Amino acid sequence: MHSNEREELILSLIRDKGFVSFRDLERRIVGSPATIRRDLERLALEGKLKRVHGGAKRVDAADMGAAPSSLAGVPFHENVHLNLGEKQLIGKAAAALCQPGEGVMIDGGSTTLQMCPHLAGLNLQVLTNSLHIVAALIGQRGTRVLVPAGAVFPEQNIILSVFGEDGMPRFHAPRLFMGAASIGPQGLMQADVVLVAGERRLIERADEVIVLADASKFEGSSGNVVCALEEIDTIITDSRIKRKAADMVAAAGVRLLIADQPRAVKG
Amino acid sequence: MHSNEREELILSLIRDKGFVSFRDLERRIVGSPATIRRDLERLALEGKLKRVHGGAKRVDAADMGAAPSSLAGVPFHENVHLNLGEKQLIGKAAAALCQPGEGVMIDGGSTTLQMCPHLAGLNLQVLTNSLHIVAALIGQRGTRVLVPAGAVFPEQNIILSVFGEDGMPRFHAPRLFMGAASIGPQGLMQADVVLVAGERRLIERADEVIVLADASKFEGSSGNVVCALEEIDTIITDSRIKRKAADMVAAAGVRLLIADQPRAVKG
DNA sequence: TAAGAAACAAGCATAAACGATCATAATCGC
DNA sequence: GCGATTATGATCGTTTATGCTTGTTTCTTA
């Protein structure tokens, strides 16, 4: 029985009843409990199900960090579902890098979005140009949200300054958290050219640039270069990153954090 | 029987009847009383039900604490439904005052919000500090949304500049559309003092100040004065406005438009 | 108001489920 | 083919869910 078959079976069972017990899977699947667990783990990381003690269940909106605010009424990209579990772990690891009370910048993206739930209570001042991030942070106890001046770009749901200035002349932060469409030898890339200008400005204002990118981001390489690898200080990814990619990153002097293996720090 | 099944059963019973007795759950659930208690405890912690002696019941508004925006008078989401018909007419009349292609400013509020649907296709550039307005205009064909720099105030859902400047130094518009908590001899008033500073700044940037206020706004007079009647150029209201209020407005030299009787322009 | 019954909370024991680690087999890429 | 990577199976210590017991609180009713 191949992993494809198992995966299909598991997901179809969950689709039908919303939940499968581990014992049920043990009966239906030829294979050791360990294999089943690994299947569940993988599928959970991809955001296709949610693991619970004794089995697994369907993912619902509450698991995706959907913001209650009306701003979140803007349809999210399918991207949010992709590798959801990994993004949640990466987001949590990124949030752990924030010092209580400091100011940070958070760029828009489905991965950086997963930082937000973990920022409550840190009393941060968060500058972001992403309305998705604003919606996720709004109403969070102790978190102050700052936005630059500019025009709202509805497709990306971000604010970009239209005059030369953006009303945040003196803002500087110890840390900037960024997403990425892909990361390759050329550097960090975004699929959308509109994003680039805004991100360049954020980079200039940060002491440390931290990039949140799950392992899949190291595969393709299409897009517009935002910055070279050398400009990045830290990349947070997951353990499925290929050795080759990890070597490339290390060669550029970038610190690499593996979110799902907190102790394993390569580079 | 797994915790998911139990959870689903409990919540569905509560959804249907508003209450489940503990004995009822004991009969339906295979498991010890302790397990059921723990389920109820957990669900109550998640806010999905409210525990009462002998069972559990649906959570209602009284259990959820004061709504966050209720600090500023009537909560926004309730306010939206109040006098909705009049507000829609007033909003439509206000939108009719906009010239295609021009830049306008729209202050936050449940009445100004009703302008938004009628602005599509006018190719306006709208500066607003209200995230509610942003959400309503976003994705609208031909409308460009501008926001000032600043901190997001979650209770009012608006952006207020925190540094001296707001990144819109050269912005000036022929028209500003404002809401109001009440209008009296002292002038235009808002229930929330936080709103005042932001609105003052908008007023300074406008050639013409247009206030959207249904007739009920002329009754009470509690709040903080934003500007005197003389600073207002136009008020759009509905035909239920009292003669006395209309006279007061006219005496201040304000143009009064009646939204539900387009031809009747008093003053 | 006081006694009895029901409901409840807290602590403890146990078995199932879990995560981590290592070893082995299958697969892939050069 | 050979090394590297990946998938699988087995083991072990830890965590979690559940059930039971005990003592306390709350409701009922006489």
Q: Which DSSP letter does residue B167 get?
A: S
> Measured in Å, how far apart are chain A's first and last C-alpha atoms?
38
CB neighbour list of residue B99: distance below 8 Å, 6 or more residues apart: B174
Mean pLDDT taken over chain B: 88
% of residues, chain B, pLDDT over 90: 71
Q: Rounded to whole angstroms, how far apart are CA atoms B189 and B183?
A: 6
Q: Residue B70: its pLDDT value, please?
A: 36
**Interval A35-84: pLDDT, tens:** 999 999 999 988 899 999 999 999 987 777 655 555 654 555 667 878 88
Question: A150: helix, coil or strand?
Answer: strand
A15 min Cα distance to partner chain B (Å): 15
**Interval B41-85: pLDDT, tens:** 999 998 899 999 999 999 875 554 433 333 344 556 667 777 777
Q: Where are the alpha helices (DSSP H) in B186-239?
A: 193-204
Q: Residue B11: its pLDDT value, please?
A: 95
Q: Rounded to whole angstroms, how far apart are CA atoms B44 and B36?
A: 12
Spanning CA of A34 to C1' of C22, the rounded length in angstroms is: 13
Q: Residue A65: its pLDDT value, please?
A: 65
Q: Residue A129: its pLDDT value, please?
A: 94
| Closest B-chain CA to A72 | B135
Task: Return left, alpha or beta for B180; rule: phi > 0 is left, psi -120 to 50 is alpha, else beta.
Answer: beta
Nearest to B147 among A159, A165, A170 (CB): A159
Nucleotides of C strand lying within 7 Å of any protein CB atom: 6-11, 16-21
Q: Which helix (H) or strand (E) holds A24?
A: helix A22-28
State the nucleotide closest to A261 in CA–C1' terms: C20
Q: Rounded to whole angstroms, how far apart are CA atoms A132 and A74?
A: 9
Torsion, CA A93, CA A95, CA A98, CA A103, rounded to 10 = 150
Q: Average of pLDDT values for B92-114?
A: 95
- Give chain A positions within 8 Å (CB) of B140: 154
pLDDT tier at B181, thresholds 50, 70, 90: very high
Angle at B160 between CA B199 and CA B185, to 5 degrees: 20
Nucleotides of D strand lying within 7 Å of any protein CB atom: 4-11, 16-21, 26-27
Strands B255-258 and B234-237 turn out to be parallel
Q: Which helix (H) or strand (E) holds B159?
A: strand B158-160
Nearest to A74 among B139, B147, B170 (CB): B139
| Closest A-chain CA to B164 | A167
Q: Residue A67: its pLDDT value, please?
A: 56
- Give chain A positions within 8 Å (CB) of B145: 151-152, 154
B151 and A151 within 8 Å at the Cβ level: the answer is no
**Residue at the smallest CA–C1' distance to nucleotide C26:** A2
A148 and B167 within 8 Å at the Cβ level: the answer is yes
B145 and A139 within 8 Å at the Cβ level: the answer is no
**B230-248: b or e for each residue (b if 16 or more CB lie within 10 Å)?**
eebbbbbbbeebeeebbeb
B148 and A170 within 8 Å at the Cβ level: the answer is no
**Interval B233-264: pLDDT, tens:** 999 999 999 999 999 999 999 999 998 875 54
Provide the residue-wise pLDDT of chain A in tens; the chain has 267 residues.
788 999 999 999 999 999 999 999 999 999 999 999 999 999 998 889 999 999 999 998 777 765 555 565 455 566 787 888 888 888 988 998 999 999 999 999 989 998 998 898 899 999 999 999 999 998 788 899 999 999 999 888 899 988 778 888 889 999 999 999 989 888 999 988 888 989 999 999 999 999 999 888 888 777 799 999 999 999 998 877 887 888 888 889 999 888 875 433 433
Q: Where are the alpha helices (DSSP H) in B128-221?
A: 131-137, 193-204
Spanning CA of B181 to C1' of D13, the rounded length in angstroms is: 64
- Residue A267, burial from CB neighbour count under 10 angstroms (0-12, 13-18, 19+): middle
Q: Residue B20: its pLDDT value, please?
A: 95
B163 and A148 within 8 Å at the Cβ level: the answer is no
State the nucleotide closest to A55 in CA–C1' terms: C17
Q: Residue A81: its pLDDT value, please?
A: 78
Asked if B113 contacts B136 with a C-beta cutoff of 8 angstroms, the reply is: yes
Asked if B112 contacts B212 with a C-beta cutoff of 8 angstroms, the reply is: yes
Which among A119, A124, A153, A168 is the top mutation candidate for probing chain B, defined by the most B β-carbons within 10 Å of its own β-carbon? A168
Q: Residue A100: its pLDDT value, please?
A: 93
A154 and B144 within 8 Å at the Cβ level: the answer is no
Asked if B252 contacts B184 with a C-beta cutoff of 8 angstroms, the reply is: no
| Closest B-chain CA to A139 | B154
Tokens representing B160 are 């207020």
- Give chain B positions within 8 Å (CB) of A170: 163
Angle at B176 between CA B175 and CA B181, to 5 degrees: 150
| Closest A-chain CA to B165 | A167
A150 and B146 within 8 Å at the Cβ level: the answer is yes
Spanning CA of A1 to C1' of D9, the rounded length in angstroms is: 14
C-alpha pair distances (Å), B246 with each of B227, B235, B238, B250, B263: 18, 10, 11, 6, 16
Q: Where are the alpha helices (DSSP H) in A122-192?
A: 131-137
Q: Residue A102: its pLDDT value, please?
A: 95
The residues close to strand D, meaning Cβ under 7 A, are A 2-3, 31-32, 34-35, 38-39, 53-54, 242-243; B 2-3, 6, 30-32, 34-35, 38-39, 53-54
Spanning CA of B27 to C1' of C12, the rounded length in angstroms is: 26
Q: Residue B262: its pLDDT value, please?
A: 54
Helix axes B3-17, B33-45, angle to 10 degrees: 70
Spanning CA of B14 to C1' of D15, the rounded length in angstroms is: 31
Q: How far is CA A92 from the centre of its chain?
A: 9
Q: Residue B77: its pLDDT value, please?
A: 66
Q: Rounded to whole angstroms, how far apart are CA atoms A260 and A86?
A: 8
**A196-207: b or e for each residue (b if 16 or more CB lie within 10 Å)?**
bebbebbbeebe
B168 and A170 within 8 Å at the Cβ level: the answer is no
Enumerate chain B positions whose Cβ falls within 8 A of a Cβ in A.
2-5, 8, 68, 131-132, 134-135, 138-140, 144-152, 154, 157, 159, 161-163, 165-170
Q: Rounded to whole angstroms, how far apart are CA atoms B114 and B221?
A: 23
CB neighbour list of residue A117: distance below 8 Å, 6 or more residues apart: A65, A91, A136
Q: Which DSSP letter does residue A249 get?
A: H
Q: Residue B62: its pLDDT value, please?
A: 58
- Give chain B positions within 8 Å (CB) of A55: 2, 4
Helices and strands counted in chain A (H then E): 7, 16
Q: Average of pLDDT values for B209-236?
A: 92
B138 and A74 within 8 Å at the Cβ level: the answer is yes
